[in-house]
Amino acid sequence: MSYLVLARKYRPTTFSEVVGQDHVTRTLANAFVSGRVHHAFLFCGPRGCGKTSVARIVGKALNCLVSTDGAPCGTCEACVSIQNGSAPDYQEMDGASNRGIDAIRELTEAVRYQPAMLKKKVYVIDEVHMLTTEAFNALLKTLEEPPPHVTFVLATTEPHKLPNTILSRCQRYDFKLVPTSRLAQHLTSIFKKEELGIDAGAIGLLVRESGGSVRARCPIRSSRTSVTPRSPSNTSRKSSASRIAR
C-alpha cells in the first residue's frame, strides 16, 4: 500500500479521531453541540497536522442528516458524499492556483445559489495566503456576511501573510505540531492495524523525521529489518511493507 493511500486511509473522519489538536476539536465539537457555529473559520498551522481533515469534518458536522450531538455520523448520504469527494456543495479550492480576482468573483457569484444537495454549501480555500490583494478585497464582503446557507473554511500554513481585514472576519484555530509521544502512539497503532511489526527504535526514527507532522512518510525499505510482517505469509506482507516506503 502506498504512502498516499495509507495517509488517506487513516485520515481522521470524526473530531475524536484527530490526533493532538484537542484545543481545536473540543471547541469545534462544543460549538456544534450548542448550535453556535461561526460562518467563517480560519485554520492555521504547519503542513500535515489536520487542517484539511478537520475542514471535511466541519463540512460533515454542518450537513449530517442524522447527528443530534454535533458529531457527524460518517455513514449518511451527506457525510459519505463529502468523504468521497462527490458532494457538489462541498468545494475545496487551492488558493495557490486560483489566486486572482476572477476566481474569487466566480466564487462569490456561486455562493448566492442554494445548495444542490446538502443543507449547507461549504467552501474551503487552501493556502489562502496566496490570494492577490485584489482577490482578498473581492472576498471581504461575502466573508463578513455570507448567505445563511454558506460556511467558509480558510486554511493556511502562513497566517502572517494574511491581511488584517481577513483575519478579523474569521474565527481562528491554530493547529500545532503533535508532541513526540502522541505521534509515536499514533504511528504504533497504524502499524498494528496494518499488521506490521515495528520496533520502538524505528518508530522513534519516524517520529523524528516527521518533525511533528502527522502526515508521516514511512521511509521503510524491504531491506530494513525493523519492520517485519506479523503473519506467517511473510513474503507477500514484506513487499507491502516496502511499498509503504514512498
Question: Which 222-241 residues touch ligand ATP, going by CB under 6 A?
Answer: none
- CA distances to 29, 117, 147, 222 from 122, in Å: 17, 12, 11, 42
**Which DSSP letter does residue 178 get?**
P
| CB 126 to Mg ion: min, Å | 5
Question: Which 151-180 residues touch ligand ATP, going by CB under 6 A?
Answer: 157
* Residue closer to Zn ion, measured from CB, 151 or 157: 151
According to the binding rule CB under 6 A, does residue 214 interact with ligand ATP? yes
CA pair distance 172, 144, nearest whole angstrom: 14
Q: Which of 13, 14, 52, 228 binds Mg ion (CB under 5 A)?
A: 52
Residue 40, judged by CB atoms within 10 A of its CB (0-12, 13-18, 19+), counts as buried
Q: Which of 32, 40, 51, 118 binds ligand ATP (CB under 6 A)?
A: 51
CA pair distance 40, 58, nearest whole angstrom: 11
**Contacted by 91, from ligand ATP, Zn ion, Mg ion, none: CB < 5 to 8 Å by type:** none
Which range of residues in 19-27, 72-80, 161-169, 200-208 is near ligand ATP by CB under 6 A? 19-27
Task: Label residues 209-229 b or e (16+ Cβ within 10 Å = b).
Answer: ebebbbbbbbebeeeeebbeb
| CB 139 to ligand ATP: min, Å | 20
Which residues of this chain interact with ligand ATP, rule CB under 6 A? 7-8, 10-12, 18-21, 47-53, 157, 214-215
